[in-house]
Structure 1
Amino acid sequence: MAYKMLVDIDRCIGCWTCAMGCKVGNHLEDDEYRVEVTTHGSGAGIDRPAGVYPDLRMWWQPVYLPSCTFCAERMKEGEPQFCVMDCPTQALAFGDAADPESGYSQARARVEARGARIWALDDAGSGTRAGVEYASAR
C-alpha cells in the first residue's frame, strides 16, 4: 500500500486549521509542528499579496514536515487524519493510491478532470515528508 496525501491548492484558504488540528489532536508542544502553511505572495511577510491593486495574487501551501506520521495511530483505528478531518474547505485528501475508492484516489481523479497540474516537493532537498502531492489548475 502506498498512502498519499493530496493537497488541492485551489481550495486552500491559508487558515492553518490543518496545522492546528494536528498540533492539538497529537498533543504537540507549543513550538512543535508537523504541518506548516506557506504563503506565496509578495515575500514581504505572511499574507502579503504580490502585485498591485486590482491585480493582487496570493496562495497558500500546507507543507508536511518529516515528523508527520499521517496519524499512523488513527489510521490503525480507521480514523481520518486530524488535518483532513478539520480542513474547512476539503482541500486535503488521504488514502491508498492503489485503491480507486480511497479519498486520495477520488480527489486525484477530481482534480485531474478539471485539468489541474499535480506535483510533489523534492522531499530529500526540501525537508518535507514524502507521499504528499499538490494540485492546482493555476
Structure 2
Amino acid sequence: MAYKMLVDIDRCVGCWTCAMGCKVGNHLDDDVYRVEVETHGSGQGIDRPAGVYPDLHMWWQPVYLPSCTFCAPRVAEGLPPFCAMDCPTQALAFGDADDGQSAYAQARARVEARGARIWELDSAGAETRASVEYATAR
C-alpha cells in the first residue's frame, strides 16, 4: 500500500483544526506539532493578506512535519488520521493511492477534473513529510 495525503488548498481556511486534532488525538506535548499551517499573504504576520483593498488575497497550507506518522495505529485499524477526520472543510483526503475507491484517490480525481495543479513539497531536506500532495486551481 502507498498511503498519501492530498491537501486541497482551495478548501483550506486556515483554522488549524488539522494541527489541533493531531495534537489532541496523539496526546502531544504543548510545544510539539506534527502539522503546522502556514499563512501565505503579506508576510508581515499571521493572517495578514497581501494586496491593497479591495484586491486582497491570502491562502493557507497545512505542512506535515517529518514526525508525522499519518496516525499509523489508527490507519492499521482502518480509521483515518486525526487531521483528515477533523477537517471541517474536507480539505484533507487520505488513503491508499493504489485503491481507486480510497478518499485520497477520489479527491485526487476531483481536483484533476477541475484542472488543479498538483505538487509535493521537497522532502529531501527533511523539513516536510513525504507522500503529501497539494492541489489548487490558482
State the TM bucket, normalised to the shorter chain.
Answer: over 0.9
Which residue does 2:85 correspond to in 1? 85
Which residue does 1:120 correspond to in 2? 120
Tell me how far apart the structure 2 counterparts of residues 60 and 34 of structure 1 sit (CA, whole Å): 16
SS at match of 1:109: helix
How much does 1:92 deviate? 0.2
Listed one character per residue, the Cα deviations across residues 80-112 of structure 1 (whole Å, up to 9, x for unaligned) are: 110001000000000011110011000000000
- Regions of 4+ moved over 3 Å: none
Which residue does 1:29 correspond to in 2? 29
How many residues are treated as equivalent by the alignment? 138
Tell me how far apart the structure 1 counterparts of residues 74 and 125 of structure 2 sit (CA, whole Å): 29
User: What is the 5 A alignment of 1:1-138?
Assistant: 1-125=1-125, 127-138=127-138
Q: CA RMSD in A?
A: 0.7
Tell me how far apart the structure 2 counterparts of residues 126 and 10 of structure 1 sit (CA, whole Å): 26
Tell me how far apart the structure 2 counterparts of residues 87 and 47 of structure 1 sit (CA, whole Å): 19
Contact 2:66 2:126 in 1 (8 A): no
Give the unaligned 5+ runs of structure 1. Answer: none
Tell me how far apart the structure 2 counterparts of residues 80 and 129 of structure 1 sit (CA, whole Å): 17
Identity level (%): 83
Listed one character per residue, the Cα deviations across residues 2-28 of structure 1 (whole Å, up to 9, x for unaligned) are: 110000000000000000000000000
Structure 2 CA distance for partners of 1:126 and 1:59, relative to 1, 3 Å: farther
Paired AA for residue 52 in structure 1:
V
Tell me how far apart the structure 1 counterparts of residues 112 and 130 of structure 2 sit (CA, whole Å): 21
